[in-house]
Amino acid sequence: MSCHEIPAAGATSWTRQRVPDESTNHRSAGAMQPSEVKALLESRLDGCEFHIQGEGCNFQVVAVGEVFEGLSPVKRQQMIYGALSEEIASGALHAVSIKTYTPQQWQAATDNQGA
């Protein structure tokens, strides 16, 4: 749903109301599954392991790979966003939160969760 100005029922003034539009209907009809997002990322970024949660057009991506070694957090996220740019532009993916790790960072993070 998006905001459009439409006349209020029985009034001559205009008000903002949420009404469905084509892009919203397209997105809900084409809701993605975590396995689809994972398959896209795996086909577009070599040498990474992906853990995906979410549904519809909102996902959390955890990416683990040597490819992130020496890169800033911004450059790491740009790699993931770049791999999903088509889906983001089309609206198939709307909100994507990203966490990236090298294998060593991932091991340390998972070790700390158990402590």
| pTM beyond 0.75 | no
Which residues are CB-neighbours of 45 under 8 A, at least 6 positions away? 63, 65, 67, 79, 80, 83
Please determine, for residue 78, whether its predicted confidence score (pLDDT) is greater than 70.
Answer: yes
- For 24, the token pair is 């919203």
As a whole number, the mean pLDDT across the chain is 80
Considering the domain delimited by 32-114, tell me its CATH architecture: 2-Layer Sandwich (3.30)
Partners of 6 in beta bridges: 15
pLDDT in the model for residue 102? 97
**R_g (Cα) of the chain, nearest Å:** 19
Please determine, for residue 37, whether its predicted confidence score (pLDDT) is greater than 60.
Answer: yes
Give residue limits of the domains in the chain.
Answer: 1-30, 32-114
